[in-house]
Amino acid sequence: MNQKVIPITVQGPTKQRRRMAPKGRRVDPKALTEVQALLGHESRQRDLLIEHLHKIQDHFGYLSSAHMAALAQEMKLSQTEVYEVATFYHHFDVVREGEAHPASLTIRVCDGLSCEMAGAQDLLDKLPAILGKDVRVIHAPCVGRCEQAPVAVVHQNPVPNATVDKVAALVEEKEIWHHPEQYIDFEAYKERDGYKLVQECYGGLRDVESVLKIMEDSGLRGLGGAGFPAGRKWRIVKGFDGPRLMAINIDEGEPGTFKDRYYLERDPHRFLEGALIAAWAVGIEEIYIYLRDEYHGCRALLTAEIEKLEAEPPVSNMPKIHLRRGAGAYICGEESAMIESIEGKRGMPRLRPPYVAQVGLFGRPTLEHNMETLHWVRDIVVKGADWFASHGAHGRKGLRSYSVSGRVKNPGVHLAPAGTTLRELVENYCGGMLDGHKLYGYLPGGASGGILPESLADVPLDFDTLQEYDCFIGSAAVIVLSDKDTAVDAARNMMRFFEDESCGQCTPCRVGTAKAVQLIQKDTKWDVDALADLSQVMRDASICGLGQAAPNPVDCVIKYFPQELA
């Protein structure tokens, strides 16, 4: 037991009594035995705390104080460390002593903007009465299936285009949907020349400098939202002394974003090969994949395919691949918060400098990438930089995977030239607007990217094209609004999301998001001056991009939709 032992001295008339006891809750022997049985022979290393918390919750349905205390002793951590991590993440149900256990079944109904527009509130209103007290129905932030809105999650099963009847029918169904029925598995991928490029790289048939040059010349930028040039990032991380690590971000929590899930469900080895090529070029020793907890089926799929890859590695010196599970925290899409979570901590963004490239995962230089960025590496290296750069529209270069949801006939991931406009996306890729709906506005970059009116639907959608309109494309999460919607309602939905998802580390974001919700919630007579002051403080003083970008929806309503505030 590593807990600090506090000598307790009791003064008495005749003697002093010393009691040696650990500070904090005493560990229940039964709970300790149960935790030890669940963990088995698995490592108790510090960075596996979240993984072990998941094991306990998956088995018992919640996290009791007794089990958390037992886990703390087993992992040689303080009980405070375990408790603060467990209570940070949305998907952990912490039950304190004396509290009632949660219902045996929890149904999460997504109330992100796309789902709200499709009728999520109706599900939230009706399901509790129909399903009864033994079922808990709660709202959830975006679950990454915006093209299937509205979505509910039952027994870890996503229910696309959910209705009350569809959800009720699944309540008795215990089987978890492990993965899509059809995807390119390990054998099928190899038959399509999969991992041939990895063998060429590791086997000396390609040199590092030529591959770095191809990546730089292609113009590929980080597709998680920040847009930093991928080839330049490889060169920067390579310049720091090893050992170096890689962290792959598949925690796409931005409302409206689902492209990573789309590619992962269909061609998982494409990004794995890209990761191995990047690891070779940069000199990476180990790879950590961080997958959002909402993607249960993808996790089963990816676990199985990584096992196949490691059982039959394409090269003898392939880096070790670790798959880590998120626990419901939008903030962990921020690279340093993700790294904190991989290390088994609360997902709190780090102050910078130093940057992740220099001091990242476990204090080592770290190459951090979004999954889709790595998805394109194989094609770019094989086909050449000019192939990727030759695509583009309206003066832009490259390809973009636009996640489109909202009031269109064919929502989904649409691969189009970078710089495609919203109007072109709707008309040429999405089959037009829904019948009876007229284009009114759109969000070009999810919750944080702002809101633009129909009059700006011909602006090229790419990095660096939307800043003059006080918006940005981010991960290309496009949500289309019609004349049946209002920008005010969209902004309210987004601000509630940011209030829920703020990690609370810095006051401008923690207090600012809550205050913004209060100021815009009651009516359309907004205090524009107060909102402008609040926006400026949040942008200037928030630690990370969540607080800095959170005011965007409100600012855009004031700037582009003044008629709604009249």
Per-residue exposure over 401-420, b if at least 16 CB sit within 10 Å of its own CB, e if not: bbbbbbbbeebbbbebbbbb
d(CA 514, CA 248): 31
Sequence-distant (6+) residues with CB within 8 A of 491 are 451, 520, 553, 554, 556, 557
Tell me which residue of 447, 438, 452, 449 sits closest to 474, measured CA to CA: 449
Sequence-distant (6+) residues with CB within 8 A of 190 are none
d(CA 64, CA 213): 53
Q: Which residue has 């690590």 as its token pair?
A: 245
Tokens of 250: 């598949």
pTM (2 d.p.): 0.94
Say whether the peptide bond before residue 150 is cis (omega within 30 degrees of 0): yes
Could you name the CATH architecture of 186-385? Answer: 3-Layer(aba) Sandwich (3.40)
* Beta-bridge mates of residue 22: 5
Please answer whether residues 4 and 80 qualify as being in contact, where contact means their C-beta atoms are separated by less than 8 angstroms: no
d(CA 124, CA 126): 6
Q: Which residue has 């109706």 as its token pair?
A: 122
Q: Write the class of the CATH domain 34-95.
A: mainly alpha
The DSSP 8-state label assigned to residue 276 in this structure reads H
What is the reported pLDDT for 155? 82
Tokens of 177: 């949907």
- 244-250 and 135-140: which strand pairing? unpaired
What is the reported pLDDT for 18? 54
Counting Cβ atoms within 10 Å, is residue 436 exposed (0-12), middle (13-18) or buried (19+)?
A: exposed
d(CA 408, CA 484): 13
d(CA 251, CA 509): 21
d(CA 560, CA 556): 6
Tell me which residue of 66, 74, 132 sits closest to 98, measured CA to CA: 66
Q: Write the class of the CATH domain 105-173.
A: alpha beta
d(CA 359, CA 189): 35
Mapped to the 3 state alphabet, what secondary structure does 35-74 carry? HHHHHCCCCCCHHHHHHHHHHHHHHHCCEEHHHHHHHHHH
Please answer whether residues 520 and 481 qualify as being in contact, where contact means their C-beta atoms are separated by less than 8 angstroms: no
Query: Sheet harboring 320-325: ordered strands across?
Result: 320-325, 284-291, 244-250, 366-370
- For 336-353, the pLDDT digits (tens) are 999 999 999 999 999 999
Domain ranges of the chain: 34-95, 105-173, 186-385, 393-440+457-480, 486-565
- For 261-274, the pLDDT digits (tens) are 999 999 999 999 99
Tokens of 113: 């903007």
Q: Angle 149-151-155 (CA atoms, 0-180°, nearest 5)?
A: 165
What is the reported pLDDT for 6? 47
- 157-159 and 152-154: which strand pairing? antiparallel
Say whether the peptide bond before residue 102 is cis (omega within 30 degrees of 0): no
Q: Provide the CB-side half-sphere exposure for 251 (13 A, CA).
A: 29
- Averages of pLDDT over runs of 10 residues in the chain (566 residues) are 47 50 77 97 97 97 96 96 97 91 92 97 94 90 96 91 92 62 93 98 97 97 94 98 97 95 97 98 98 94 97 97 97 96 97 95 98 98 96 96 98 98 98 98 96 98 96 96 97 97 96 96 87 97 95 97 92
| Strand ranges, E, within 236-365 | 244-250, 284-291, 320-325
The CATH number corresponding to 393-440+457-480 among 3.30.420.40, 3.40.50.620, 3.10.20.600, 3.10.450.50 equals 3.10.20.600
The DSSP 8-state label assigned to residue 83 in this structure reads H
d(CA 389, CA 315): 30
d(CA 364, CA 475): 27
d(CA 509, CA 22): 37
d(CA 164, CA 109): 11
Element (H, E) at 517: helix 507-521
What is the reported pLDDT for 522? 76
d(CA 111, CA 152): 9
Tell me which residue of 448, 397, 388, 452 sits closest to 423, measured CA to CA: 452
What is the reported pLDDT for 401? 98
d(CA 369, CA 361): 13
- For 72-115, the pLDDT digits (tens) are 999 999 999 999 999 999 999 999 888 888 888 999 999 999 99
Q: Angle 289-293-296 (CA atoms, 0-180°, nearest 5)?
A: 95
Please answer whether residues 366 and 376 qualify as being in contact, where contact means their C-beta atoms are separated by less than 8 angstroms: no
Please answer whether residues 519 and 527 qualify as being in contact, where contact means their C-beta atoms are separated by less than 8 angstroms: yes
Give the rounded distance of the alpha carbon of 174 from its chain centre.
Answer: 26
Q: Which residue has 């309206």 as its token pair?
A: 394
* Beta-bridge mates of residue 95: 64
* 486-565 under CATH 2.60.40.10, yes or no: no
- For 119-150, the pLDDT digits (tens) are 999 999 999 999 988 899 999 999 999 999 99
